[in-house]
Structure 1
Amino acid sequence: MIYPTLSSLLEKVDSKYTLVVAVAKRARQLVDGQQKLTKVESNKPVTIAINEIYDEKIAYERNKPEKPAE
């Protein structure tokens, strides 16, 4: 069984698309040299990013659409 499960990860974000974007961005940061924020046995950036989201070590912020100019 894969841990954490997809359903448990989806409880941490508002959609599966948000989850994918958040994991991808965090994995890129890890590849670029940022320190991991949680203890994980794996050295794979995507696995680390998934666990950081599950452990709520990172958060995302949804951009609000700008109002059109009148």
Structure 2
Amino acid sequence: MKQFDARGLSCPQPVLETKKALAENPSGVQIFVDNTTAKNNVERFMKNSGYKVEVEERNGDFLLTARQ
């Protein structure tokens, strides 16, 4: 599964990068973000795109995993 690091990016960039990553890897991706707003926006986008989403907090960052 492809991972993408969106830490340090301001919204809407994490969502745009997630969209691009899912287009390249439609079976699923993992995205790292570093703030709650990005986590919420990326999670909502993944769910609205039909993916099952798991969120894991790691040392103040979030790892979101999208699977079909």
TM range, smaller chain: 0.3 to 0.5
Larger of the two Rg values belongs to structure: 1
Greater share of strand residues, 1 or 2? 2
Structure having the larger proportion of residues in helix: 1
TM-score (norm 2): 0.32
TM-score (norm 1): 0.32
